[in-house]
Amino acid sequence: MAYQGNQVLRALRHVACLLAAIALASCVRAPDPMFAAKRGRVVDAAGNGMPEFTIIGAGYSGTSGFLGGGRGGVETDYQIAVETDDEGYFAFPAAYDRHDRRNHLGRTWERWWIVTVLEPGFVIASDHSSWEKWQQNGLPGEYPPSIQNTPKFRWNEDAVEIEPIIVEPFELLPPGSSPTNSIPRHLTLKQLAVYYRFILVEAYGNHLRDPVRERMHQYMEDIVCTRPQDEVLDYSTFEGVIDLTYDSMAALEKTRELKPMEYEKHYLRSTYTAAMLCTAMRTGSRASYLARRENAREKQREHERYRESVRRRNER
């Protein structure tokens, strides 16, 4: 009996040790590349580093539907923009995981991260499918792969080392021209506006009136305002240009003022002229925004002076 009791006790100890090991393993997580510090390099086709390029990194979290039935919702964990150094290298700091990842009611967490490039006059070479595919209604048929797919990487000590991102220049085609796949690539204004809008809005978010958007605004305004002003542009081009404007809300309001009925009804079939978009972009420029803000502040100061004068008269 004593021998059998020792065997039972020994078995119980083994079970206890096994349970403790399982509990410890569940507490110790492998490093998550989404929130780790990241390093990489932007290069041209020849492998030369590209200095002062804007790099955007973003991380997202989402829940699956109940019992795996589709995605329940997406949250942005972080969005950050940095510039490459003189040799094309860039680095992101580690990000903080602020979410509780436990499963709830049959739902599971998914998360993914992307790194992309937003530089006037350049495109990511592997993003070509996004400006080559279009739906019959004129809307883009595919998102740029760089804002959908996590890049290839490897661990380097405590940081994620991203494979080099290859960029290439393009030439903007004149009105009425057809795009080609030659190098350097030749893109239409529509292709350019939609592609840059995807990168800025979808990857970086609607950060209104910040330096990244200001830089893109100036680049696009110079293009739009030097096109033939009677050039007819479709809705996808309009949307891309407006969303690349420094103060896009002011630009949109100006467009509605210039073409109210067309904007409200059947917007996918609406057309706009380069002159109209040029006016809208200038209305939404940084200079116009600062002027409007100063005018609003001056009105507020006048109102406060008036209230002060009324108060003094009443005290007499």
pLDDT at 306 over 70: yes
Predicted pLDDT of residue 220:
96
Mean of pLDDT values over 21-48: 76
Q: Are 23 and 101 part of one and the same domain?
A: no
pLDDT at 28 over 70: no
Gap between the Cα atoms of 201 and 184, Å rounded: 25
- What SS3 state is found at 246? coil
Q: Is residue 193 part of a domain?
A: no
Q: Is residue 151 part of a domain?
A: yes
Q: What percent of the chain has pLDDT over 90?
A: 45
Q: Is residue 200 part of a domain?
A: no
Predicted pLDDT of residue 83:
95
Write out the residue range of the structural domain in which residue 306 sits: 206-316
Of 60-74, 145-159, 203-217, 281-295, the one with minimum mean pLDDT is 60-74
Gap between the Cα atoms of 309 and 315, Å rounded: 10
Predicted pLDDT of residue 166:
97
Residues 61, 74 contacting (CB under 8 angstroms): yes
Q: Are 74 and 25 part of one and the same domain?
A: no
pLDDT at 71 over 70: no
Mean of pLDDT values over 213-218: 93
Q: Is residue 195 part of a domain?
A: no
Q: Which range is most confident: 18-27, 63-72, 232-241?
A: 232-241
Mean of pLDDT values over 15-34: 57
Q: Are 179 and 59 part of one and the same domain?
A: yes
Of 80-94, 170-184, 283-297, the one with minimum mean pLDDT is 170-184
Predicted pLDDT of residue 70:
52
Residues 145, 152 contacting (CB under 8 angstroms): no
Q: Which two tokens stand for residue 252?
A: 């949109």
Q: Are 133 and 219 part of one and the same domain?
A: no
Q: Are 244 and 299 part of one and the same domain?
A: yes
Q: Is residue 62 part of a domain?
A: yes
Predicted pLDDT of residue 311:
83
Of 9-23, 186-200, 266-280, the one with minimum mean pLDDT is 9-23
Residues 34, 113 contacting (CB under 8 angstroms): yes
Q: Are 43 and 164 part of one and the same domain?
A: yes
Q: Are 43 and 127 part of one and the same domain?
A: yes
Q: Is residue 199 part of a domain?
A: no
Residues 113, 59 contacting (CB under 8 angstroms): yes
Q: Are 122 and 136 part of one and the same domain?
A: yes
Q: What percent of the chain has pLDDT over 70?
A: 76
Q: How confident is the model at residue 23 (pLDDT cuts 50, 70, 90)?
A: very low
Cα dihedral across residues 120, 121, 127, 131: positive or negative: positive
Mean of pLDDT values over 108-115: 84
Nearest CA among 121, 163, 167 for reference residue 144: 167
Predicted pLDDT of residue 265:
53
Q: Where are the beta strands (DSSP E) in 85-152?
A: 89-92, 109-118, 122-124
- What SS3 state is found at 164? coil
Mean of pLDDT values over 275-303: 89
Q: Where are the beta strands (DSSP E) in the chain?
A: 37-43, 54-64, 71-83, 89-92, 109-118, 122-124, 153-156, 159-162, 165-172, 185-187, 232-233, 272-273
Q: What is the pLDDT of residues 178-212, one digit of tens each?
A: 766 665 678 899 999 999 999 998 888 866 678 89
Query: In sequence order, what are the residues at sequence separation of 6 or more whose Cβ sits closer than 8 angstroms to the Cβ of residue 211?
Result: none
Q: Is residue 16 part of a domain?
A: yes
pLDDT at 25 over 50: no
Of 135-149, 214-228, 231-245, the one with minimum mean pLDDT is 135-149
Q: How confident is the model at residue 27 (pLDDT cuts 50, 70, 90)?
A: very low
Domain count, the chain: 3
Q: Are 18 and 51 part of one and the same domain?
A: no
Q: Are 20 and 64 part of one and the same domain?
A: no
Q: Are 157 and 251 part of one and the same domain?
A: no
Q: Are 173 and 259 part of one and the same domain?
A: no
Q: How confident is the model at residue 26 (pLDDT cuts 50, 70, 90)?
A: very low
Last residue of one domain, picked from the residues 124, 154, 185 = 185
